[in-house]
Structure 1
Amino acid sequence: MALFAVASLTPLPLLVAGVLWGGPWVLGGLVYVGLFALLMDQAIPHVAPDAPEGAEFPVADALLVLLGLAHLAAFPLAVWGIAGDSGLTGGERVALFFGWGMFFGQISNPMAHELIHRGDRWLFRLGMAVYTSMLFGHHTSAHRHVHHRHAATDADPNSARRGESFWRFLPRAWIGSFRAGLGAENALRAKGARGLHPYAIYIGGGLAALALGAVLAGGAGVLAWAGLALYASSQLMLSDYVQHYGLRRAMLPNGKPEPVDDRHSWNAPHWFTSGMMLNAPRHSDHHAHPARPYPALRLPPPDRAPWLPYPLPFCAGVALIPPLWRRMMHPRLKRWETKA
C-alpha cells in the first residue's frame, strides 16, 4: 500500500503548488507523471510480487476515498488556475493544463474505475461523481454493463480491432459506449429497476460542472473544464485501446463468445507506473475478478497472458502514432492470434 499511496498522491501537492505559486512548480506534476514515473520503471527494473491469495487491504478503500475527494476539490482549482484570475503566465497555464490533465487521466481514472466496482453504494457514488466531473459519467454504466460482458468482441465499443488506429477508435468508442451504456440502463429499467435514471445524473452533473467552470472563470472557465475533461477521458479511452488492442474471443458453436481469459487483455509488469495507476495495468486479472481490490490484482505469467513491451503510459504514447504502434504491436499480436 505504501507504493500505491506515494506514487499516486505525490503529484497532487506539486500541481497545487503550481496553481498557487507558479514558476518552476508548474512543471512538477507534469514531469512527475509524464517522465519521472517512466524513468523509475526503467531505472529499477522490478516486478511487484503478487499479493497472497485472499489477502485483505483494509486501507485500500481509504486511499481511493482520499484521491476521490481530492479530485473533486482539485478539478475546479485547476480550472481557476488555468483560466481564472490566478496571475499565471500563458506558458504556466499551458503547463498546468497538461500536468493536471495527465493527473486526472492517469490517476483519477483508475481511482474512479476502482470505486465503481465497489459494492458499497457511497464508494460507487463517489466514483460516479468523479467520472461525471470529467463529463464522462456514462462510463460508469458502459464499463460495468457492456465492457465487462463483451470485452474482446465486436459487441464492445471499447475493444479496439486489429489495424484500427486510435484516432478512428476514439470517436467510435466514445459514441458507442454512450449508446451501449444507455441501452443497458434502459433494459434494466424495463426489468423493474427504480430510481433516477443514471444518464440524468451524468448529463445533469456534467452541465452543473460546466456551470461551475463559468462561475470560476466565465467562458474561459467553461472551455478549460471541457478541455481538461476531454483530455482526461481521452487518456482513459487510450488505455482501453492499448489494453485490448486486436485481441478477440473465439465464437463457440452456440454463437456465444468463449469466456474471458487472461489472453484477452494486454498487461504491463512495470512496478512504479502500476503503483501510480493503482494496478490498472494488471488488466487480465481485473476482468477475471472485477471486485478484487487493486492491491490484490495478480499478474499472469507472459506465457499465459500478453505483456506490453513497455509501461502502459509509454505504450499509450506510441499508440498516438499509428504506423509506429502497428510496427511495435503486430508481431506480438500475431503470436497470440496463433494461440487462439
Structure 2
Amino acid sequence: MAVATPMADTLIARGFGDADDGAGFRGAEFLLVVLAVVHLALLVSALHALANDWLTGWQRVALFLGVGMWLGQVSNSFAHELIHRGKRGLFRLGAAVYVSLLFGHHVSAHRLVHHVHVATDSDPNSARLGESFWRFFPRAWLGAFRAGLVAERKRADRTGRINPYVIWIGGAGLCLTLVLVLFGVRAMVDYLALCAYAQMQLMLSDYVQHYGLRRRCADGRTEPIGPRHSWDAPHPLSSLAMVNAPRHSDHHLNPARVYPALRLGPDDRPMLPYSLPVMGALAMVPPVWRRVMDRRVARMMAVEERQAATVLH
C-alpha cells in the first residue's frame, strides 16, 4: 500500500472534483469516530504483539513500519479533523488520539498558534525557505510546544479555566504508565518509538505544506491568510486516506469546513508536483527537496510580488 498509493496518485493527474455547494455529508463525522476507535484498537494490538515473542525480527520491523505509517498519516489526519469540529465530544476524541501519540500539545499549538500565524516567522510550523526538514523538526517541535503553552496560559488567565497542558502532559504520563504496566519495558520502548515516528510524519506534513511560503507585511501589519500560503496536493488516493488533508489551503481559509467539502480551487494555487506522501519522502533528502521545491517557491513568491505591485499601482 505504501508504494501502490503514491504510484496510483502519480498516474492520475488530478483528484476528484470539488463537492457541490450546499452538499450534505451524512456519515462524515461517524467515519471519524470509527477511525478513532480503529486507531486505539490498532495501537493496543500492535503493542501487545510487539511485547511478545510471536514475531520474527523482520515481522516486528514490518509491523512497526506499517502501524507507524497508519498512526502518522491516517490517525493524524482524522484527529486533526476532529479537533476542528465544534462538537465537544468530537473535539475531545481527537485530543485523546493526539494524547495517545504523546503529542497532546499539538491540539493547542495547532489551533492557537499555527492557524493564527501560519506563513509567518511567528509560526514554528511554517518552514523557512532553504531550511532542511532535519533542522525544522526539532525547532518546530519545541517552538510549537512553547508557543502553545504561552497561548494557553494567556487563555487560562483570561477565562479562569485549567490549562490543558496539564491534560496533555498528564495524559502522556498515564499512557506511558499503562503501557509499562500492561505490556512491560520493551513495549514501552516500542511505544515511544512509534509515537516519535508518527510525530515525525505529522511534522513532515507541516513542513511540506507550508515550505517557503510567506505572507507579506506592510506598515507593521500582516496580510490575511490566502490561498497562496499553503501547498495543495490534488492526488486522489492519498487524499482519501488522509481525509482530504492535502487540500490544505482551503482548510486554512475555512478551518470549520468539514473534510469532504474541502476544495482545491483554481490551478494558480501552490500545487505540489507529487502526492503528499511522496513529497514527505523527498523532504527527508534535503538536496533533492531543494532542487524540486526552491524554484517553485521562487515562482510563487514572484507571482505574489507582481500582484502586490499591481494593487499599489
| TM bracket, shorter-chain basis | over 0.9
Aligned partner of 2:224 among 259, 273, 283: 259
8 Å CA contact 1:80–1:86 kept in 2: the answer is: no
Choose the corresponding residue for 1:151, options 104, 118, 122: 118
Task: Map Cα deviations across residues 250-306 of structure 1 (whole Å, 9 max, x no partner).
Answer: 0022x1210000000000000111111110000000000000000000002221x10
- Asked if residue 120 in structure 1 is aligned to residue 84 in structure 2, the reply is no
Deviations 1:210-238 (A, max 9, x none): 11221233111111111100100110000
Deviating beyond 2 angstroms after TM superposition, the runs of 4 or more aligned structure 1 residues are 42-46
Alpha-carbon distance, 1:46 to partner: 4.0
Percent identity, please: 55
Match of residue 186 from structure 1: 153
**Mapped partners of 1:76, 1:274: distance in 2:** 26
Aligned to 1:68: 36
Q: In 1, distance between residues paired with 2:62 and 2:259?
A: 30
Q: 1:338 aligns with which of 302, 305, 310?
A: 302
Given the superposition, is the C-alpha separation of residues 163 and 81 from structure 1 closer, same or farther in structure 2, using an over 3 Å criterion? same
Q: TM-score if structure 2 supplies the norm length?
A: 0.95
Rounded Cα–Cα distance in structure 2 between residues aligned with 1:175 and 1:246: 20
Counting only pairs closer than 5 Å after superposition, residues 190-339 of structure 1 correspond to structure 2 as: 190-194=157-161, 196-253=162-219, 255-303=220-268, 305-339=269-303
Residues 147, 156 of structure 1: 8 Å contact kept: yes
Task: Give the residue type in structure 2 aligned to 1:240.
Answer: D
Using the TM superposition, give the Cα deviation of residue 40 of structure 1 relative to its aligned residue in structure 2, in angstroms: 2.0
Supply the AA of the counterpart residue of 2:104: G
Conserved in 2, the CA contact under 8 Å of 1:213 and 1:224? no
Superimposed CA distance per residue, residues 52-85 of structure 1 (whole angstroms, 9 cap, x where no aligned partner): 1222212100000000111122212111222x11
Unaligned runs of 5+ in 2: 305-313
After superposition, the CA RMSD in angstroms is 1.1
1:55 equivalent in structure 2:
23
Contact 1:284 1:300 in 2 (8 A): no
Distance 1:64 1:78 in 2: 21
Q: Which amino acid aligns with 2:56?
A: T
Which residue number in structure 2 is paired with residue 16 of structure 1? none
Structure 1 residue 113 displacement after superposition = 0.2
SS in 2 for 1:216: helix
Matches of 2:152 and 2:12, distance apart in 1: 45
Q: What per-residue deviation string (whole Å, max 9, x for no partner) do you get for residues 104-159 of structure 1?
A: 00100010000000010000000000000000000000000000000000000000
Give 1:257's aligned amino acid.
Answer: T
1:43 deviation in Å?
3.7
Is 2:45 aligned against 1:80? no
Partners of 1:57 and 1:86 in 2: CA distance = 45
Residues in 2 aligned to 1:163 and 1:308: alpha-carbon distance in whole angstroms: 17
Q: Name 2:307's counterpart in structure 1.
A: none
Q: d(CA) in 1 for partners of 2:36 and 2:90? A: 9
Q: Is the 8 A contact 1:158 1:173 kept in 2?
A: yes
Amino acid in the other structure paired with 1:187: K
Aligned to 2:135: 168
